[in-house]
Structure 1
Amino acid sequence: MNRVTLVGRITAKPELRYTNSQIPYTRFTIAVNRTFSNSQGQRETDFIGVVAWRRQAENICNYLDKGSLISVDGRIQTGTYDDKDGNRRYTFDVVADNVQFLESRAQAQARMASNNGNNNIDATNNFGSSPYDYMDESSYGYNLDNMNDAYSNMGDIVTLADSDDDEDID
Structure 2
Amino acid sequence: MNRVILMGRLTRDPDVRYSQGERAMAIARYTLAVDRRGRRNQDSEQTADFINCVAFDKAGEFAEKYFKQGMRVLISGRIQTGSYTNKDGVKVYTTDIVVEDQEFADSKGATAPGEGPRQTNRPEQSSVGDGFMNIPDGLEDDDLPFN
TM range (shorter): 0.5 to 0.7
The amino acid that maps onto 1:13 is D
Tell me the alpha carbon deviations over residues 125-162 of structure 1, each in whole angstroms, 9 at most, x when there is no partner. xxxxxxxxxxxxxxxxxxxxxxxxx9xxxxxxxxxxxx
Aligned residue in 1 for 2:10: 10
| Cα displacement (A) at 1:81 | 1.4
Q: How does 1:134-149 map to 2 (within 5 A)?
A: none
**Unaligned residue ranges in structure 1 (runs of 5+):** 108-149, 151-170
Q: 1:83 aligns with which of 86, 103, 107?
A: 86
**Equivalents in 1 of 2:55, 2:86: separation in Å?**
24
SS at match of 1:13: coil
Distance in 2 between residues matched to 1:59 and 1:39, nearest whole Å: 35
Contact 2:53 2:97 in 1 (8 A): yes
User: What's the counterpart of residue 63 of structure 2?
Assistant: 60
- Alignment partner, residue 52 of structure 2: 49
Quote how far apart the aligned CAs of 1:51 are.
0.5
> Between Structure 1 and Structure 2, which shows a larger proportion of strand residues?
2
Richer in helix (by share): 1
SS of the counterpart of 2:88? coil
Tell me, yes or no, if structure 1 residue 92 matches structure 2 residue 92: no
Separation (CA, whole Å) in 1 of partners of 2:108 and 2:97: 25
Could you tell me which residue of structure 2 aligns to residue 32 of structure 1? Answer: 34
- The structural deviation recorded for 1:37 is 1.9
Per-residue deviation, residues 65-92 of structure 1 (Å, max 9, x unmatched): 0001100100000111122321001101
CA distance in 2, matches of 1:38, 1:105: 29
Counterpart secondary structure, 2:60: helix
Letter in 1 for 2:73: I
- Contact 2:41 / 2:47 at 8 angstroms: preserved in 1? no
Number of aligned residue pairs: give it.
108
Scaled by the length of structure 1, what TM-score is found?
0.59
Matched residue SS, 1:106: coil
Mind listing any 5+ residue stretches in structure 2 that lack a counterpart?
111-120, 122-147
Matches of 2:10 and 2:54 in 1, distance apart?
Answer: 12
Deviation, 1:106, is 2.5
